[in-house]
Amino acid sequence: MPIPFSRRSLISATVAALLSGAIVLPVTSSAQSGTANVRAWHASPDAPAVDVYVDGQRAIANLAFGHVSPYAAVPAGERRIQVFAAGANPASATAVIDARVSPMPGRNYSVIATGPVAEIAPIVVEDAISPPGQGKTKVRVLHLSPDAPPVDIAVTGGPVLVRNLAFRDVTPYLELDAGTYNLEVRVAGTNQVALALPNTRLQAGDVLSVAAIGFLTTTPIRAQVAVDARFPQPVEPGSDPQSIIARILAAAARSR
């Protein structure tokens, strides 16, 4: 669930967002050092690039729409997050976002700014990252398109995975069988396809965030996939390439 946080000023552009394509963002170990892992997502379609400051120090520079920062370790406890238009002087410029967050030690968070500039509203979501089961992928879905209606996420010709997801909603992580799926984003409660996602590959051991970003009416709405973490899974006995080759050679020898 999104975690609300207080904000002092929401004037123009944005912090934070989603990936352009799938990028692995490794999670660092922070429980022992009393820090949390925090990343910024820029999901405001008409906002310019921004610089992000944590407690008065610039932590992220020139973050543009459709990009996400790597995770950074920050001290746990109350932190001040300020966002300025990229290149602005924080001593004289007005922060487009001035907020306070309180990350818990050893946990992972995504700070997301959503909506158009005129109605920008930041949220914080906890990235509850843990390994999926054997042969599984963990996936959560975020609705970040400001003018898109509530949606359902379904397998083409198959079951509905997520129902009635509204703007700024974030699902829990769902554990699905690894494989390749043809998915559809539909207008909630209908079979009307708003966004087709054919040949969506879910790899065993991956933890993914999938979101729709952009405006439905004025800019191309598109899917963004973030690899929150990747957990290598043990190879099942006999399935590694050397074992397969050995079995082929043995079968060939028996047939002689």
Nearest-angstrom CA–CA distance, 76 and 103: 5
Residues 157, 105 within the same domain: no
Query: Do 114 and 5 have their domain in common?
Result: yes
Determine the average pLDDT of the residues in 82-90.
92
The predicted structure's pLDDT at residue 35:
94
Q: What are the pLDDT digits (tens) for 164-208?
A: 999 999 999 999 999 999 999 999 999 999 888 999 999 999 999
Mean of the per-residue pLDDT values of the chain: 81
- The pLDDT score that the predictor gives to residue 119 is 85
User: Beta strand 160-165 with 151-155: parallel, antiparallel or unpaired?
Assistant: antiparallel
Give a yes or no: residue 245 inside a domain: no
CA 169, distance to chain mean position in Å, is: 13
Reported confidence tier of residue 14, pLDDT bands at 50, 70, 90: very low
- Domain encompassing residue 216: 129-231
Number of structural domains (the chain) is: 2
Percentage of the chain lying above the pLDDT 90 cut: 57
Q: Are residues 201 and 212 in the same domain?
A: yes
User: Does any domain span residue 237?
Assistant: no
DSSP state of 102: -
Global confidence as pTM: 0.77
CATH number at residue 194: 2.60.40
Average pLDDT over residues 83-88: 92
5 with 52, same domain: the answer is: yes
Mind giving me the DSSP string for the chain?
-EE---EEEE-S-------SS--B-PPPP-TTTTEEEEEEEEE-TT---EEEEETTEEEEEEEPTT-BPPPEEEESS-EEEEEEETT--TTTSPPSEEEEE-PPTT-EEEEEEES-GGG-EEEEEE----PPPTTEEEEEEEEE-TTPPPEEEEETTS-EEEEEEPTT-BPPPEEEESEEEEEEEEETTS--EEEEEEEEEE-TTEEEEEEEES-SSSS--EEEEEEEEE---PPPTT-SHHHHHHHHHHHHHHT-
Out of 79, 100, 127, a domain closes at 127
